[in-house]
Amino acid sequence: MDIARIEAIPSVKPRVFLEDMGCQMNRLDSEIVLGKLHQAGFQRVETTDDADVVLYYTCSVREHAEDKVFGRLGSLKRLKALRPELVIGVMGCMAQNHKERIFERAPHVDLVCGTSRFEDVVDLLEEVRHGERVLAVDRRELKFDRDISVRPRRFQAFITAMRGCNKYCTFCIVPYTQGRERSRPVSELLDEARRLVDDGVVEITLLGQRIDTYGQDQRDGTNLALLLHRIHEEVPGLLRINFITSHPNFMTDELAATIADHDRISRYLHLPVQSGSERTLKAMNRGYSVDEYRAAVARMRARVPDLAIATDWIVGFPGETEDDFAASVALQRELGFHGSFVFKYSPRAGTRAAELEDDVPRATKEARNQVLLAEQSAMSLAQHTARIGLDLEVLVEGPSKRNAERSMGRTRWNEIVCFPAREEAVGRMLRIRIERTTALTLHGQPI
C-alpha cells in the first residue's frame, strides 16, 4: 500500500514493522522511533508482510549482528519486487558504520539513518515517499523528545543518561558510530523520570556506554553518584533504580557510598573486564591493569558487601595464548562474578584491532567460550544455592517465558525468580521464599 494513497484515506493508518537488535540503548532508541511514528499516525504491525514501512534498528558491535541484518534485507528483496511502494530502512550503528555500502549491498533499501538522526524518522520517511533514496548519517545533537507512553513494559523503562564513548578500545566500533560522550542535564533526566513514574513506571535503568563517566563532559562537578542520589530522593515513586554499563577506571568511593546509602538503587553492577591477561588488556587499550581491576572491585565491595558483579569477556583476541586465557579463568574464579557474558572475538572493520591478524582458530575460540561459561555456571549455582530458604524481595515482571502458569521477577541483585502465577502483582514487590534453584533461575513461593 502506497503511503501517498493512505493519506487520502483518513480511516487507514500507515503500518510499520520495526525490529531492534543489540543493546539496551538500541531498544530505547527503537521506542523513541516508534513514539515519533505513533504521533505521526503510524500503526505498528508484527510482520513484514503486513507493513508499509519496514525498519531495522541495528547494532554494529559484532559481525554476527550485521550478518543477521543483511540476511533480513535479503529476505525482503522478493517482497520489494512484488510491492515496489514498500519502504525499507536501516537505522542505528550499522547504518552509521556502513553508510552508502548498505545501498550497494542491498539496492532495494530506501533509507539509511545513523545514530543521531533517528529522531527525524518521520521527515526522512516523507523524503522517501517523494521518491528519494535517503542517507542521513550526519552528526546532530539529539533532542531526546520522547513519547513516554510507547514502551514494551508499562512499569519498566530505560532512560538514556548519556551517549557516545571517549575510550577507543581497539576492538570496539562504538566511538566511531556514536561519537564523543555527551551527558544530558540532571534536571532533564529528573523530569523524564517523573513523567515515566506518572505513567506507571516503578523501575528505571539509566543507560550509557560508560555510565560511570556521566557528567564529566559538563565540567561542573556533576557525576553518576549525584544523579543517582537526586533520582532516589526526588522521584519517590520508583521502586528500583538501575544503571549500566560501567568502566573499571571510574569506580569511586563516592559512587560506592551512594549505592550503599540508597536502598532503592539495585545491588547489581555490570563491570566488563574483557581479559585477565595483562598483555591482552594492553593490546585491547582497556586502560587498566588486572590489579587495578581487582582494586575497583574491592573498593565497591568494601562499601557494598552484597554487591552482585557481572562482567564481559572476549576470548580469542588476536595473539591470545593459552597462558593469556588461563589468566582469565583464574581471575574469574578469584573474583566470583555473579554473571559472565562471553563473546568470541571477531574483527570489526574500522577498528584498530582489525589491522591485527585474527590468529586464534575458531574452534579454539569456541572451546574457550565454553570453558568460561561452564566456570560461571558452577559459580552461579553455588551462589543461588546459598539463597535457598531465604525470603527475597522480588519485583514482579510478568509471566515466565517458559511456563505461562508461573510468574517471574528479579531481585535487587538482578537474579531471576520464578513462582506460581500472580498476574495481579505485576509491577509490585513480592516476598518470595526460595525453595530450589538452577544456575540461571531461583524458584520459590510467595509469602
CATH number for the domain spanning 263: value is 3.80.30.20
Last residue of a domain, one of 385, 404, 419: 385
How far is it, in rounded angstroms, from Cα 141 to Cα 118? 11
Residue 249 has pLDDT above 70, yes or no: yes
29 found inside a domain: yes
* CATH (domain of 432): 2.40.50.140
Whether residue 236 lies inside any domain: the answer is yes
Q: Are 135 and 90 in contact (CB under 8 A)?
A: no
Q: Is there a single domain that holds both residue 278 and residue 337?
A: yes
Partners of 445 in beta bridges: 433
| 252-284 tens-digit pLDDT | 999 999 999 999 999 999 999 999 999 999 999
Same structural domain for residues 404 and 373? no
pTM of the model: 0.88
Q: Is residue 144 part of a domain?
A: no
- CA–CA separation, 141 and 437 (whole Å): 47
Residues 276, 185 share a domain: yes
**Span 67-95, pLDDT tens digits:** 889 999 999 999 999 999 999 999 998 99
C-alpha cell at position 389 = 530458604
Strand partners, 340: 311
Structure confidence at residue 22 (pLDDT): 75
Are 308 and 170 found together in one domain?
Answer: yes
Full residue range of the structural domain in which residue 413 is found: 391-446
User: Taking 80 as the threshold, does the pLDDT of residue 296 lie above it?
Assistant: yes
Distances (CA, A) of 120 to 16, 25, 28, 174: 16, 17, 15, 21
Task: Give the count of domains, the chain.
Answer: 3
Q: Do the domain assignments include residue 414? A: yes
Do 12 and 112 fall into the same domain? Answer: yes
- Asked if 217 and 299 sit in the same domain, the reply is yes
What integer pLDDT is reported at residue 9 of this predicted model?
A: 36
Span 26-51, average pLDDT: 92
> What are 340's three cell numbers?
559472565
For residue 314, which amino acid is it? Answer: I
Q: Is residue 332 in some structural domain?
A: yes
Predicted confidence at residue 213, as pLDDT, reads: 97
Half-sphere exposure of 320 (CA within 13 A, CB side): 29
CATH of the domain at 104: 3.40.50.280
pLDDT in tens, 327-381: 999 999 999 999 999 999 999 888 999 999 999 999 999 999 999 999 999 999 9
215 and 96 share one domain: no
* Residue 151 domain-assigned (yes or no): no
**pLDDT-derived band at 3, boundaries 50, 70, 90:** very low
% of the chain surpassing 70 pLDDT = 97
Q: How many other CB atoms sit within 10 Å of the CB of residue 105?
A: 12
45 and 63 fall within a common domain:
yes
Judgement on whether residues 301 and 350 belong to the same structural domain of the protein: yes
Question: Which helix (H) or strand (E) is 177 found in, with range?
Answer: helix 174-178
Mapped onto helix, strand or coil, the DSSP state of residue 287 is coil
Distances (CA, A) of 194 to 77, 161, 187, 206: 44, 14, 11, 14
Same domain membership, residue 302 and residue 325: yes
Residue 407 included in any domain: yes
Choosing from 385, 405, 426, the residue where a domain stops is 385
pLDDT given for residue 148 in this prediction: 87
Asked whether 58 and 96 are in contact (CB, 8 A), the reply is: no
Domain end marker among 105, 136, 167: 136
For the cut 90, the answer to whether the pLDDT of residue 24 exceeds it is: no
Residue 339, helix vs strand vs coil? strand
Q: Say how far apart CA 35 and CA 141 lie, in whole Å.
A: 19
3-state helix, strand, coil in the chain (%, to 5): 40, 20, 40
The region that residue 433 occupies, defined by phi over 0 for left and psi between -120 and 50 for alpha, beta otherwise, is: beta
Shared-domain flag, residues 262 and 328: yes
Tell me if 145 is assigned to some domain: no
Q: Do 40 and 166 share a structural domain?
A: no
pLDDT tens, residue by residue, 98-157: 999 999 999 999 999 998 898 899 999 999 988 889 999 887 777 777 888 888 889 999
Give the span between the Cα atoms of 133 and 130, in whole angstroms.
Answer: 9
